[in-house]
């Protein structure tokens, strides 16, 4: 695993606005606190999410993009990129691999955090088909596409984007977490980030109370003392 000092830049690739905040906002806040630059790449605008059917897809997309920007600010992230794919129908196509490869080569991160392509039969909500498709395409973009100058040659020849090797990937929401980040000290920021997604979390009165049980369970699995909270990941060496 990379040492903290080796992680200077992180790219987070997720399917929907709010995915990063449920899965990893406490970890992101801890990174930005110690000076790590974090960039978000959100594949869809989440236009099929939410409860307010009076808002059309275009209106919902604009709203959720703005919510994600506010949520990002709550954890120290100002660079949020949207790929604009339609929500609910994401597939791990060559086109999506190329679009994620482009962002990897632009950002040149040490570490990519994305969603697990593997279904967790014990807890199915994180295994949404869009999440699994994005995780699969992002891993393919990390290896082999982004580091291979012959993959999607137009990225190099037309856009001047040189090959880049991402050294480590963290997967969220998968069945085999093996790395736990204590987020007790950044929990308030995670709550603030989730509150920023008003169209999704506005109906939850007590966001902190809603989050605590599974973050506590993660902490317990990690062997942390009672009262601590943790986010869970599977770490993949991609160097
Ligand atoms: Zn999602």
- Give the pLDDT confidence of 60-85 residue by residue, as tens digits: 889 999 999 999 999 999 999 999 99
Minimal CA–CA distance to 136: which of 13, 237, 7?
13
**Is pLDDT above 60 for 51?**
no
Q: Measure 17 CA to ligand 1 centroid, in angstroms.
A: 7
Q: Give the span between the Cα atoms of 127 and 215, in whole angstroms.
A: 18
Q: Measure 128 CA to ligand 1 centroid, in angstroms.
A: 7
Spatial CB neighbours of 19, under 8 Å, sequence gap ≥ 6: 42, 115, 131
Q: Measure 197 CA to ligand 1 centroid, in angstroms.
A: 12
* Predicted pLDDT of residue 59: 85
Q: Measure 15 CA to ligand 1 centroid, in angstroms.
A: 6
Please state the domain extents for the chain: 4-237
Higher-pLDDT residue of 91 and 46 is 91
- What CATH architecture does domain 4-237 belong to? 3-Layer(aba) Sandwich (3.40)
Q: Measure 165 CA to ligand 1 centroid, in angstroms.
A: 27
What b/e sequence results for 106-144 when a residue is b if at least 16 CB atoms lie within 10 Å of its CB, and e otherwise?
bbebbbbbbbbbbbeeeeeebbbebbbbbbbbbbbbbee
Q: Measure 105 CA to ligand 1 centroid, in angstroms.
A: 24
CB atoms within 5 A of ion ligand 1 belong to 16, 19
């Amino acid at each position: 695993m990379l040492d903290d000092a080796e992680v200077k830049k992180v790219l987070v690739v997720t399917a929907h606005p709010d995915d990063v905040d449920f899965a990893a906002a406490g970890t992101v806040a801890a990174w930005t606190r110690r000076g790590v630059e974090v960039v978000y790449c959100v594949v869809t605008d989440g236009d099929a999410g939410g409860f307010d059917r009076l808002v059309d897809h275009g209106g919902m997309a604009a709203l959720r993009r703005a919510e994600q920007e506010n949520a990002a600010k709550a954890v120290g992230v100002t660079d949020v990129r949207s790929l604009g794919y339609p929500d609910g129908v994401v597939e791990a196509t060559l086109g999506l691999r190329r679009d994620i490869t482009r962002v990897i080569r632009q950002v040149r991160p040490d570490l990519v955090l994305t969603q697990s392509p593997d279904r967790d039969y014990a807890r199915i909500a994180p295994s949404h088909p869009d999440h699994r498709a994005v995780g699969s395409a992002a891993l393919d973009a990390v290896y082999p596409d982004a580091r291979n100058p012959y993959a999607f040659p137009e990225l190099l020849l037309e856009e001047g984007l040189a090959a880049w090797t991402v050294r480590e990937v963290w997967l969220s929401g998968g069945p085999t977490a093996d790395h736990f980040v204590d987020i007790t000290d950044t929990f308030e920021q995670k709550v603030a980030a989730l509150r920023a997604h008003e169209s999704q979390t506005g109906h939850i009165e007590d966001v902190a109370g809603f989050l605590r049980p599974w973050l506590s369970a993660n902490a317990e699995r990690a062997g942390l003392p009672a009262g601590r909270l943790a986010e869970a990941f599977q770490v993949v060496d991609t160097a």
